[in-house]
Amino acid sequence: MSSSVGLIIPCKAAVAWEAGKPLVMEQVEVAPPQALEVRIQIKYTSLCHTDLYFWEAKGQTPLFPRIFGHEASGIVESVGEGVNVFQVGDHVLPVFTGECGECRHCKSEESNMCDLLRINTDRGFMLNDGKSRFSIDGQPIHHFLGTSTFSEYTVVHSGSLAKINPLAPLDKVCVLSCGISTGLGSTLNVAKPKQGSTVAIFGLGAVGLAAAEGARIAGASRIIGIDLNPKRFDEAKKFGVTEFLNPKDQDRPIQEVIAEMTDGGVDRSIECTGNINAMISAFECVHDGWGVAVLVGVPNKEAVFMTKPINLLSERTLKGSFFGNYKPRTDLPSVIEMYMNKKLDVDKFITHRVPFSEINKAFDLMLKGEGLRCVIDMEK
């Protein structure tokens, strides 16, 4: 048993005090886990664009001070009352959308939208008592996505935690806790392209390129990558993307260009940008009769999706997905196994590494559109 069990742990956390301002390294106090909660020591965390959106708080609800972070790996430090499935020392990945195991969604084969623990970007406190487990001199600090991994220790609901193979390297599989699993599952579980299909991917960040990996694994014949950032194109070749399009280089809507290139439209498209215009293009570029478009990007709160109903009547399908439809506790261990069996390469998604003390560099890189995932080492 660890000596900290049942005690408050003072530790370092990167706190966002204001929207868009650099995070500040603070000494925070992390309370022990309550019933059905688990306290974990974060080993590695990485930055996902969803952290950046809520930190910028443009078109999202601002909630500060807050500890961001949701893509991470860690080790169980202690468990609260009623937690049977986790033990001290277990290797775990926290996940932004949970699985209570009891509700209609958790019992449905089709859904991962748990009634109790589904993603809630506006909740800043724990479900048990509506309070924070983080404080600085008695001032509560808001949680983010029930995970708040930009802290050496954090408390999460046990339903938002996946136990993983202890042999999996935590400095790598941390990226499977959000972006890579999301992109991969959006293709394999939701878009489900058939062998030989044409697939368009909007947004060639880590999520989009993981969606491209899914298309490659499914045997797509053409994978068309669309991004506004020309720097993305070289990187995308390593992920099986066969053709590139930059909407800025075209004098007509990108969906028209794609329809012309593919004899009427692609079989599947996956949108991984968060931009409403890209979402509309992603839908309108699929072939009538059978085309399926999947929205993955997190949009501005006020964004409205507009298209002519005839586009749907002509037998196109529009879908959306969180976490690639994976149930975090049930399905994430199998994604880890894909990595362990070398069916899925995660190393090529990790383009940068920084020590925790330099976490703001990860934000700078993402703002500049450089690299894919920046892994933050909590022990440095």
Binding site for ligand NAD (CB under 6 A): 48-50, 53, 178-179, 182, 202-208, 226-229, 232, 247, 272-275, 277-278, 296-298, 321-323, 366, 369
Q: Which does 103 bind (CB under 5 to 8 A by kind): ligand NAD, Zn ion, none?
A: Zn ion
Options 97, 143, 149, 178, the catalytic residue: 178
Q: Is 178 in the site for Zn ion (CB under 5 A)?
A: yes
CB of 289 to Zn ion, least distance (A): 33
Binding flag, residue 374, Zn ion (CB under 5 A): no
Catalytic residue status for 374? no
Q: 178 catalytic, yes or no?
A: yes
Q: Is 285 part of the annotated catalytic residue set?
A: no
Binding segment for Zn ion (CB under 5 A), chosen from 40-48, 184-192, 210-218, 226-234, is: 40-48
Q: Does 114 bind Zn ion (CB under 5 A)?
A: yes
Q: Which of 100, 174, 272, 285 is catalytic?
A: 100
Closest distance of CB 323 from ligand NAD, Å = 5
Smallest distance, Å, CB 301 to ligand NAD?
Answer: 13
Choose the binding region for Zn ion from 16-24, 131-139, 172-180, 296-304 (rule: CB under 5 A): 172-180
Give the C-alpha separation, 30 to 374, whole Å: 25
What CA–CA distance (Å, rounded) separates 53 from 347?
A: 25
- Residue placing its CB nearer to Zn ion in the complex, 265 or 299: 299
Is residue 311 a contact residue for Zn ion (CB under 5 A)?
no
Q: Is 366 in the site for Zn ion (CB under 5 A)?
A: no
User: By C-beta, is 272 or 378 nearer to Zn ion?
Assistant: 272
Check if 100 is active-site: yes
Tell me, yes or no, if 70 is annotated catalytic: yes
Which residues are at the interface with Zn ion (CB under 5 A)?
48, 50, 100, 103, 106, 114, 178
Active site residues: 48-50, 70-71, 100, 103, 106, 114, 118, 178, 373
